[in-house]
Amino acid sequence: MGTPVGNVSSPDSAGGERSLLDLSFPELEQELVADGLRPIHAQTLFRAIHHDLATTKEALEAHPGFLPPLRRWVGGQIGTGGRFTLPQLEVVSEVLSSDGLTRKLLLRLADGQVVETVLMGFSGRHTACLSTQAGCAMGCVFCATGQMGFVRNLTPGEIVSQVHRAQSALRASGGTGLRNLVLMGMGEPLNNYDAVMAALECVCDSRGLNLGSSRITISTVGVVPGILRMVAERRPYPLAVSLHGSTDAERSALVPAGRRWPLDELMDACREYTTATEGRIFFEWTLIAGRNDSPEHAARLGALLRGIPSHVNLIPLNPTQGFDGTATQGGAAKRFQEVLKEAGIPSTLRQRRGIDVAAGCGQLRAERTRTDPVTNSTRSPRSVSS
């Protein structure tokens, strides 16, 4: 059922160099000080990379805020012959939804894999939906990423680079900057725990992008060890749990992870989280006609969540090629919501966004690229579809 919590598998760098995007500020400062530079230079470099979004060695060398010692360090330590790289995910394509507010970025990783990042515009704010793995091992039957299977975990720098690309796209279009992040793209964040937390440390750092931790939501299919580890480490990020069923049999039919972490175990972990954080959990419920959308389903959900500070996001099923279910229509969705209200559970019927470009919840899918065995050159992806 995926890789163990905290395990990070990623392609090795051919020359052993480290990506500067993988480094937190304390790690970057340690590297510079070890090379004889003053700590102040770490702040300058970190800001140039994470706030100013410098993407190349040449851009750093030309940065007006760099003093000669830092400029010399950049010249000698980044790129050929140096210890570090500054890799950026290549934007293969950018597609704008007909809603005018949602765009999907197809991003190529260094080894040729591709992932998708979604930018959503709202009144006065923008949210980026990030991927944390290429593919996913959780196998949720209605999710396009789950249907494609697991390829590998992303590194911290590959997650951070998605934020950079999203921020750059917004700046280029003259829009307001990023306000919120949701880790609800490709992959299970808590099965790539260490890389995810390292990436979020970078994007929250006040010396860089300075995004507030309360505006970053981690979505999980219910990886209990990861939830408990967040509690033990007092991680400050809001949590969303994909539920979709209110009995073990009902849930496991849609979410295979339910067989590994039954509902009683998952609910206990959720109670520990809300007690420790004094916050609430967002529970995601994909409404599938005839499968989990009746008033009886809603009543069982209300009973299941009793006593847990929570908010339910109701998401009409988005179409994918690998699942033949259909979305619950408005009347049934409203009745479901009314039953939850009677049980004292607040809910929101989620607005559908980006469906026409397969950017909606559960629609992200980017097939693995092929590598030529002779030239080792990467070909175009076979397809990128829902």
Active site residues per annotation: 116, 361
Q: Are 27 and 34 in contact (CB under 8 A)?
A: no
CB atoms within 10 A of CB 3: 17
Q: Are 302 and 343 in contact (CB under 8 A)?
A: yes
Separation between Cα atoms, residue 226 and residue 65, nearest integer Å: 41
DSSP codes of every residue in 127-183: EEEPP-EEE-SS--TT-HHHHH-EEEEPPHHHHHHHHHHHHHHHHHTT---EEEEEE
Separation between Cα atoms, residue 194 and residue 235, nearest integer Å: 12
Widest Cα–Cα separation across the chain:
69
DSSP state of 286: E
Q: Which helix (H) or strand (E) holds 333?
A: helix 330-342
Q: Are 173 and 37 in contact (CB under 8 A)?
A: no
Separation between Cα atoms, residue 302 and residue 342, nearest integer Å: 9
Q: Give the orientation angle of helix 68-77 with respect to helix 40-50, to 10 degrees.
A: 60
